[in-house]
């Protein structure tokens, strides 16, 4: 059994796959060079317990900071009215949350109810799982706080790094590049945040793009792990700082919306849209991805793992294009109704009557 295990591990960690030509694991081990501090792959386990700390910090911040602030702003924590107990309707609801007219007619006859009564029960049943505005405000406040901290820290530590100003410096002396303590903390904290999102996403407000975000988190974690193992962390830091910038304003716009400051929400959302397009559709593909696909192969020898990194970066870009379409759709609808009330990219699945009412009337529902 040990022989087969060793064979599988040796095949998986083959140097021909993971490392550039003529490079061994011993060459990039933490103790390989006294002058170069290579990334230690064993440190990838640290973000797991750190994610638990992140979840604890979030709980404390939401309960003792964001919730009192939200309450002081007049944000209500009231729960929607519950639907009356009805085993037959509940069973039908568990099987499918979207009822066709024929199904409503059948249930109405079976229960000796009117169709309007069945439709009203369905609306109440959908709404009773809807989180309060205060809960959503607290979630957005936590993410806004993290993205703000992460972006400021990222810009601060990268300001004197040569690869921020010349991206080709990402490949200077590759793969023998030292991991400084500030880069180490940037990577570990960022990974712990994404690991915490992997857990909290199942308990947070359910969004219409739940699975896209779930896949995004997985791709981000895999990308960070691969880049850490093969010492491509310089590009990883650029990806992180580019992604964090726009998310600050997205969460801030939602906070303003829930607080009742519509004009502030409109202004912040406009800034978010411009910054999103600039960073996710401009800088990310034409600076980072372009360098990974075109410039890097001319500077360093290619190897299979690097190809995987290129593919993951491109996959993230595909998700960005999908979300950009939804954001622009929101902007277009906002122009029609006069203000931007929500971001389609993360609209809640608990919006009542989303499919039966005009789109413009649902912009403010989450």
Q: Reply yes or no on whether the pLDDT at 213 is more than 80.
A: yes
Q: Which two tokens stand for residue 198?
A: 């992997």
Using one digit for the tens of pLDDT, what is the confidence trace for 112-162?
888 888 888 888 877 777 788 899 999 999 999 999 999 999 999 999 999
11-15, 50-54, 58-62, 294-298: least confident range: 11-15
85-89, 167-171, 347-351: least confident range: 347-351
- Read off the pTM: 0.83
Residue 93 vs residues 87, 96, 173, 266: alpha-carbon distances, Å: 10, 5, 60, 37
Q: Reply yes or no on whether the pLDDT at 109 is more than 70.
A: yes
Q: Reply yes or no on whether the pLDDT at 365 is more than 80.
A: no
Q: Which pLDDT band, with edges at 50, 70 and 90, does 8 fall under?
A: confident
Q: Which pLDDT band, with edges at 50, 70 and 90, does 338 fall under?
A: low
Q: Give start-end residues of each CATH 1.10.10 domain in the chain.
A: 87-127
Output 288 or 132, whichever has higher pLDDT. Answer: 288
Output 79 or 303, whichever has higher pLDDT. Answer: 303
Give me the half-sphere count of Cα atoms (radius 13 Å) on the Cβ side of residue 146: 24
Q: Where are the alpha helices (DSSP H) in the chain?
A: 2-12, 15-18, 47-61, 67-72, 87-95, 101-111, 115-127, 133-158, 162-165, 181-200, 210-229, 233-259, 262-276, 290, 296-299, 304-337
DSSP code string of 126-149: HHTTPPPHHHHHHHHHHHHHHHHH
Burial class (CB in 10 A: 0-12, 13-18, 19+), 202: exposed
Round to whole Å and give the CA distance between 201 and 322: 20
Round to whole Å and give the CA distance between 312 and 72: 43
Question: Closest Cα to residue 309, out of 244, 186, 222, 234?
Answer: 222
How many other C-beta atoms lie within 10 A of the C-beta of residue 88? 10
Radius of gyration of the chain (CA): 24
| Cα dihedral 162, 163, 164, 165 in deg (nearest 10) | 70
Q: Which two tokens stand for residue 128?
A: 């009773």
Round to whole Å and give the CA distance between 361 and 265: 17
Q: Reply yes or no on whether the pLDDT at 221 is more than 60.
A: yes
Q: Reply yes or no on whether the pLDDT at 353 is more than 70.
A: no
Q: What is the pLDDT of residue 331?
A: 84
Give me the half-sphere count of Cα atoms (radius 13 Å) on the Cβ side of residue 7: 4
Q: What is the pLDDT of residue 352?
A: 35
- What number does CATH give the domain 87-127? 1.10.10
Whether the CB-CB separation of 176 and 28 falls below 8 Å is answered with yes
Output 33 or 145, whichever has higher pLDDT. Answer: 145
Q: What is the pLDDT of residue 343?
A: 46
DSSP code string of 182-236: HHHHHHHHHHHHHHHHHHHTTTS--BTTHHHHHHHHHHHHHHHHHHHHTT-HHHH
Round to whole Å and give the CA distance between 178 and 194: 24
How many residues appear in the chain?
366
Round to whole Å and give the CA distance between 34 and 117: 76
What sign has the CA pseudo-torsion 249, 253, 256, 262?
Answer: positive
Q: What is the pLDDT of residue 95?
A: 80
């Amino acid at each position: 059994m040990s022989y087969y295990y060793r064979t599988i591990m040796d095949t998986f960690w083959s140097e021909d796959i993971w490392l550039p030509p003529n490079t061994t694991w011993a060459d990039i081990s933490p103790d390989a060079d006294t002058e170069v501090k290579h990334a230690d792959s064993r440190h990838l386990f640290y973000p797991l317990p750190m994610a638990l700390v992140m979840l604890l910090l979030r709980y404390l911040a939401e309960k003792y900071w964001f919730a009192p602030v939200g309450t002081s702003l007049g944000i209500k924590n009231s729960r929607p009215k519950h639907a009356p107990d009805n085993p037959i309707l509940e069973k039908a609801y568990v099987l499918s949350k979207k009822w066709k007219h024929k199904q409503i007619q059948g249930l109405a006859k079976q229960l000796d109810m009117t169709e309007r009564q069945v439709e009203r029960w369905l609306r109440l049943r959908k709404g009773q799982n809807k989180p309060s505005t205060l809960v959503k405000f607290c979630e957005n406040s936590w993410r806004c706080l993290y993205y703000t901290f992460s972006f400021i820290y990222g810009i601060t530590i990268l300001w004197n790094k040569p690869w921020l100003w010349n991206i080709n410096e990402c490949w200077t002396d590759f793969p023998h590049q030292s991991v400084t303590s500030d880069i180490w903390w940037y990577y570990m904290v960022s990974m712990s945040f994404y690991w915490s999102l992997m857990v909290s996403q199942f308990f947070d407000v359910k969004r219409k793009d739940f699975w896209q975000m779930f896949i995004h988190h997985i791709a981000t974690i895999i990308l960070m792990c691969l880049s850490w193992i093969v010492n491509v962390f310089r590009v990883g830091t650029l990806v992180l700082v580019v992604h964090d910038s726009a998310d600050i304003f997205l969460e801030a716009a939602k906070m303003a919306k829930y607080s009742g400051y519509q004009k502030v929400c409109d202004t912040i959302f406009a800034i978010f849209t411009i910054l999103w397009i600039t960073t996710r559709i401009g800088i990310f593909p034409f600076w980072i991805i372009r360098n990974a696909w075109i410039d890097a192969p001319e500077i360093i020898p290619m190897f299979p793992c690097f190809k995987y990194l290129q593919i993951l970066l491109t996959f993230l870009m595909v998700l960005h294009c999908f979300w950009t379409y939804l954001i622009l759709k929101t902007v277009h609808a906002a122009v029609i109704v006069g203000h931007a009330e929500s971001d389609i990219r993360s609209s809640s699945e608990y919006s009542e009557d989303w499919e039966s009412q005009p789109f413009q009337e649902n912009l403010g529902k989450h």
